[in-house]
Amino acid sequence: MKPDEYDDLHVRFERDADGAYRTLITAPDGRTTRGIFRCPVSDEQLDDFVRTVGLVRRRASVDRARAIKAFGGSLFDALFVEQAGNAYVAAKAAADHSQRGLRISLQFSGAPELLRLPWEFLYSRPRFISQSVSTPIVRALDVDAARRTQPIELPLRVLGIVSRATGEVDLDVDDERRKLEAALEPLQRDGLVELEWLERATLRDLARRISEPDDIHVIHYIGHGAYDEDTESGILVLERADGRPDDVSGEQLGAMLQDEHSLRLVVLNTCEGARTSHVDPFSGVATSLIEFDVPAVIGMQFEITDDAAIAFSETLYRGLSHGMAIDAAIAPARRAIMAVRDAEFGTPVLFLRNGAARLFDILASSRAATRAVPGAAPEDVASAEPVADATPAEPVEMVDPPARTDHPAAELQLATAADVAPVAPVDWRATITRTVEGKQRVIRVDLQLGQPHVITIADTTFTGVLTVDGRSLSTFSPPDRFQLSEALDTKDCVLATKVFTIGGAWTRYVTLFRVDGVDIPVTDDLFPASEWTASAEYALLGDGNGRTVLRVTLDEPHEIVCQVGSFSSTIEIDGGQTISNPFSNNVPLTLLDGGTERACRLLMSQGMPTWPKEVARVVAFWADQRGIHVDHGPLPPVE
């Protein structure tokens, strides 16, 4: 079979009388065949099947295997009966003759209730249809064709979301996150995938994250799904600011994500016991996301065990990072599940927008760079020593820009002391140190105001405990805002942090620290004092545009200008190189410094509390494995 080349066999379902369904099968050559489908099981029988197959931790594998074959065989026989069966056999033979695959696209717009059936178990002796890369099964929606695939450079950027709302069935958040991290660790090490976690599973935090100007290619959700009897639709259980459950419909989530054009795939990973009846709560969410222009959604229709989830995710994301179409990538991912948990291969369900099978067009230059230099990055802060011997990833390819046009200083509208937050008193300062205590990484902030204060964040990637002067304020994600008690008053604080994962190693950075509206000078042990220096200035340009100017002095002075606009973004380096539309908050680049090419990395953030979203704030700068302390200039006014 030629890789990723498929003929399409479309099967459309429409309701008919007496509980039956009309089928219209369209072959690759355009010929059509009409048939009748009668569901081979009742709702009660489907419930029994789900309880037998779906609760994988509670049933013997022999029972599941027997039940799956019996169910899949009856489903196949009910669908491909008589002339419909002849159409399938003919299409498969023609595809085999031309050394192509046959994609079986099931379309349920006229009978959405059939989405509840686990079609991924279709069985024609001696094999299950979906297990072969030559016959992927997809659930296609009758909506307009997906957006045209855009070329991307590796790594594939995955945003992970773990929801742990109070009052829901307990989840081991660290364990759930660990599964995905374990699955993607080899890919991150090779520079193929970059995994980032949303700090809190709230709509507000999601909105803030997707408003940043970098690409998000995949969202991977781990949490609860439910079925709303009143609206007859599926929901995801996210969190409110106070930790209580927030039932979010597929329409709400789709509306939130509709303008994230780089997003091509959403993976919905149910937690233990998410489905115990014939109702699949994620089907409604998936179809809503497809309607809001997400090209592909994968949902887990049953509970999935740890080793099966790891095997599936690692194989799926590896295939996608090599440019495979999603339906081609999911077949070997199913076989990877079979190697560890035979009966769970049908758990993943693929929903597709028309024409959306190829999600990513990986640039050849990106693949070559990845093969040459596996994802190198600042060293994991798993020790108390500063991260000073890290190796930034291979710089991205630059293009020559048009001739540079100097901008008058007045045009930048750089904020002055008159229109920004007040300057910190000379004795207000903060010092950050990092240590490891057991399995937790601890950031300690020693803050000096009118009196000394100690703030710590003890976490394992994204969850942890924020402690202020001995008071524990959070047992989940550190909040952005809290209060400090001084002798005569109470001070309002904003402490914004961001985790960057590079080459498999993650580090939490303090991106902004304010007390009573005053910006606190911060000294961080990641960036010891040296002869190399950096300073940043920020500007609002109006009309949704902002500019950041980073001046770096190594052996020679350099200037990096990042301009963020409503529809485009650029990074200009020393007036001679430009990265167009980088849409990344983690940018590798090269500086020619005194005749030496220095590998550098620029980390940025947007959407922080009290910070204008139009302006990218510099979080960190690395040059030749050394962290450079950045002095931040006056902040632009918040409008």
Give the per-residue SS3 of 362-399: ECHHHHHHHHHCCCCCCCCCCCCCCCCCCCCCCCCCCE
Residues 248 and 332 in one domain: yes
pLDDT, tens digit, for every residue of 454-495? 999 887 644 567 888 888 776 545 557 888 888 767 888 888
pLDDT score recorded for residue 86 = 92
Alpha-helical runs (H) found in 173-305: 173-189, 203-210, 250-257, 281-291
- What six digits make up the tokens of 40? 């081979």
pLDDT score recorded for residue 301 = 82
Q: Establish if 372 belongs to a structural domain.
A: no
Picking from 11, 7, 48, the residue whose alpha carbon sits closest to that of residue 28 is: 7
Q: Establish if 487 belongs to a structural domain.
A: no
Q: Establish if 386 belongs to a structural domain.
A: no
* CA separation for the pair 504, 376 (Å, rounded): 9
For residues 328 and 335, the answer to whether their CB atoms sit within 8 Å is no
Residues 120 and 239 in one domain: no
Q: What is the pTM of this model?
A: 0.57
Residues 595 and 571 in one domain: no
Segment 540-559 shows an average pLDDT of: 90
How many angstroms separate the first and last alpha carbons of the chain? 58
Task: Name residues whose C-beta falls within 8 Å of residue 570's C-beta, 6 or more positions apart in sequence.
Answer: 562, 563, 578, 579, 580, 581, 582
Which comes out higher in pLDDT, residue 412 or 159?
159
Please write down the HEC assignment for all residues of 492-546: EEEEEEEEEEECCEEEEEEEEEEECCEECCEEECCCCCCCCEEEEEEEEEECCEE
For residues 430 and 452, the answer to whether their CB atoms sit within 8 Å is no
Residue after which a domain boundary falls, among 543, 558, 580: 580
Q: Establish if 20 belongs to a structural domain.
A: yes
Residues 91 and 197 in one domain: no
pLDDT score recorded for residue 170 = 54
- What six digits make up the tokens of 562? 């990042």
Q: Establish if 147 belongs to a structural domain.
A: no
| Domain total in the chain | 4
For residues 99 and 1, the answer to whether their CB atoms sit within 8 Å is yes
- What six digits make up the tokens of 415? 């904020």
Residue by residue, DSSP assigns 28-95 as TTS-EEEEEE--SS-HHHHHHHHHHHH-TTTS-HHHHHHHHHHHHHHHHHHHS-THHHHHHHHHHHHH
pLDDT score recorded for residue 503 = 57
Q: Establish if 599 belongs to a structural domain.
A: yes
For residues 231 and 247, the answer to whether their CB atoms sit within 8 Å is no
pLDDT score recorded for residue 584 = 60
Residues 292 and 196 in one domain: yes
Q: How confident is the model at residue 155 (pLDDT cuts 50, 70, 90)?
A: very high
Q: Establish if 367 belongs to a structural domain.
A: no
* CA separation for the pair 121, 50 (Å, rounded): 12
Tokens 């686990």, located at residue:
118
Residue after which a domain boundary falls, among 580, 611, 627: 580
pLDDT, tens digit, for every residue of 104-144? 999 988 888 888 899 999 999 888 999 888 999 999 876 66
Residues 265 and 348 in one domain: yes
Residues 546 and 632 in one domain: no
Q: How confident is the model at residue 542 (pLDDT cuts 50, 70, 90)?
A: confident
Residue after which a domain boundary falls, among 310, 328, 353: 353
Residues 112 and 176 in one domain: no
* CA separation for the pair 324, 39 (Å, rounded): 34
Q: Tell how strand 596-605 and strand 586-593 pair up.
A: antiparallel
Picking from 2, 4, 105, 1, the residue whose alpha carbon sits closest to that of residue 361 is: 4
pLDDT score recorded for residue 273 = 33
pLDDT score recorded for residue 598 = 93
Q: Pick the range with the lowest mean pLDDT from 151-155, 204-208, 436-440, 624-628.
A: 436-440
Residue 613's domain spans which residues? 591-638
Residues 129 and 169 in one domain: no
Q: Establish if 274 belongs to a structural domain.
A: yes
Residues 161 and 127 in one domain: no
Task: Name residues whose C-beta falls within 8 Å of residue 255's C-beta, 6 or more positions apart in sequence.
Answer: 292
Which strand ranges, in their side-by-side order, compose the sheet holding 557-564? 577-580, 569-573, 557-564, 545-553, 533-542, 630-632
Residues 133 and 162 in one domain: no
Residues 261 and 112 in one domain: no
